[in-house]
Amino acid sequence: MASTQTDREPTFRESVDLMVDRAMAAMGVDKGTATAIKSCNAVLKVQFPVKIRGKTEIFTGWRAVHSTHRLPAKGGIRYAPYADQDEVEALAALMTYKCAIVDVPFGGSKGALLIDPSRYDRDEMEMITRRFTLELTRKGFLSPATNVPAPDVGTGQREMAWMADTYKHLHPEDINYIACVTGKPVHHGGIQGRVEATGRGVQYALREFFRHGEDVKAANMSGGLEGKRIVIQGLGNVGYHAAKFLSEEDGARIIAVIERDGAVLNDKGIQVEELHQHMREHRTIRNFPGAAFVEDGHKVLEQECDILIPAALEGQISQENAPRIKAKMIAEAANGPVTYGADGILNKRGVVILPDAYVNAGGVTVSYFEWIRNISHIRLGRMQRRHDELRGRQMAAMVEETTGSRVPDHFRESITRGANELDLVRSGLDDTMRLAYQEIRRILREEDAVCDLRTATYVAAIRKIARSYLDIGIY
């Protein structure tokens, strides 16, 4: 039964389920189909020993497969000292809906290892990761055809390269072995643009939102992204790229950055690249010369601003602080940053929420491009780039011959340059984010029972998943 805002805060998994229930009620999905869509198909829990500095340590990890209506099932692996099964199941469910909303033909999965990566050196991390990969592979929870992890909190290209290499040694006969994980380094079968993809997707999602004047007005704003005041929580992979692109390319102003050890504020705008550099050097945002520091970072979520971008962890905006949030809109770059209870409070207060299942889908979208590149064994654009350039030169020559005047250099340059892999990845991601938002807003505008963007997002996703269950049947 749905919790009310005065009940205890639901867990992350309960929050996702309650949000999905709200969408299913608006759509009138029958009970059987609803249960089939919501249930988590399988959860693997492993415990394995690794000898570290002469002592045996036992590590616990999980991999949840929420749905297999499309294969492979897809979702990141996080390394965190707070990971648990409830969180992994919630994140796996979110992946199912996320893939559906951006038309990525994958099921939903997620994994985690209970570990504090800061306690181990590089070689120890490699040993632990390779052993975890062995467990996942042997138990059928890692393969290019059925279950494909990607980076998440605490993991990156390095861990993905170790995982792919371990899988290759276990299955050298699998011609598609390199597609067993995505988010790999480019020289190990990765794709250009994957590292930036989730942050880039956040930028494209916001750009698309600001193309629709009525939606911007509904969020009590006007105009485009230029000059919009943004507060961002988490300057990791997602937060850093989103903040960098929005400020450097769209003219938005990052007025506060919240990290685990506090927050920095500057109403004139923070130089994201300089702050990131400072963080890399000092492992803290303290003493950053370009902004004022405050100890209580969590409180800065309540800072007055146009757009709040939580890009760190789940559950950051809860029933407790939701009444004091002053942002006009929240773009959920992290997974599950707003609890179910907070969502209700914010909706009532008219704060527009662009939901996680849409906003941070850039990562899985580009992972899909990487997987395609891996199973087709060819770099995107390799066959057509020079051909496109030739066509461009012919076009310029034709224009010059027929008009008798020279094509200006800047036009010549743009029409005679064939697209490289990064151009294609960004173009595919931009198209994906635009189309998905257009579908979500159409549902919100046309369907009376749907009152917010999150519900509209889930309606769009559930409709596609339900159709696939109806088409293939449930067995």
Binding site for ligand NAD (CB under 6 A): 151-154, 198, 233-239, 258-260, 297, 311-313, 333-335, 360, 363
Beta bridge partners of 61: 46, 113
In whole angstroms, how close is the CB of 106 to ligand NAD at the nearest point? Answer: 14
Q: How far is the CB of 237 from ligand NAD (least distance, A)?
A: 4
Q: What tokens does 331 get? A: 């773009």
* DSSP state letter for 323: G
CB of 190 within 8 A of CB of 422?
no
Return all residues near 171 (Cβ < 8 A) that are at least 6 apart: 137, 143, 177
Q: What distance, in Å, lies between the first and last C-alpha atoms of the chain?
A: 27
Decide whether 147 or 182 has the Cβ nearer to ligand NAD.
Answer: 182
| Residues 24 and 462 sit within 8 Å (Cβ to Cβ) | yes
Q: Decide if 336 contacts 98 (C-beta within 8 A).
A: no
- 250-265 per-residue burial string, b: 16 or more CB within 10 A, e: under 16: bebbbbbbbbeebbbb
Shortest Å, Cβ 30 to ligand NAD = 31
The residue (of 290 and 418) whose beta carbon lies closer to ligand NAD is 290
Distance between CA atoms of residues 134 and 73, nearest Å: 18
- In the complex with ligand NAD, the residue whose CB is nearer, 334 or 436, is 334
Question: How far apart are alpha carbons 76 and 111 in whole angstroms?
Answer: 6
Residue 129's identity, in one-letter code, is: T
For residue 3, the tally of other CB atoms under 10 A from its CB is 17
The whole-angstrom separation of Cα 110 and Cα 95 is: 8
Which residue number has the CB closest to ligand NAD? 236
Q: Calculate ∠ Cα 300-305-306, nearest 5°.
A: 140
Nearer to ligand NAD, 93 or 466 (CB): 93
Query: Is the CB of 34 or the CB of 335 nearer to ligand NAD?
Result: 335
**What strand order describes the sheet that includes 73-80?**
42-52, 55-65, 107-114, 73-80, 147-151
Smallest distance, ligand NAD to C-beta of residue 313, A? 5
Residues 6+ apart with CB under 8 A from 408: none
Closest CB 384 distance from ligand NAD, rounded Å: 28
DSSP string for 265-318: E-TT---HHHHHHHHHHHSSSTT-TTSEEES-GGGGGGS--SEEEE-S-SS-B-
The 3-state secondary structure of 97-113 reads: HHHHHCCCCCEEEEEEE
Residue 67 or 233 with smaller CB distance to ligand NAD: 233
Return the bridge partners of 390, or none. none
Q: Pick the catalytic residue: 110, 184, 228, 244?
A: 110
Gap between the Cα atoms of 446 and 472, Å rounded: 29
At closest approach, how far in Å is the CB of 211 from ligand NAD?
23
Q: For residues 297 and 392, which CB has a smaller minimum distance to ligand NAD in the complex?
A: 297
- Single-letter amino acid, residue 286: R
Pick between residue 24 and residue 197 the one whose CB is nearest to ligand NAD: 197
Q: How far is the CB of 297 from ligand NAD (least distance, A)?
A: 6
Q: How far is the CB of 441 from ligand NAD (least distance, A)?
A: 22
Residue closer to ligand NAD by CB (options 319, 367) is: 367
- What are the DSSP E strand ranges found in 372-441? none
Residue 6 belongs to what H/E stretch?
none
Query: CA nearest 166: which of 204, 223, 126?
Result: 126
Whether 217 is a known active-site residue: answer no
Q: Which residues pair with 204 in a beta bridge?
A: none
Minimum CB distance to ligand NAD, residue 369 (Å) = 13
Q: Where in the sequence numbering do the catalytic residues fall?
A: 110
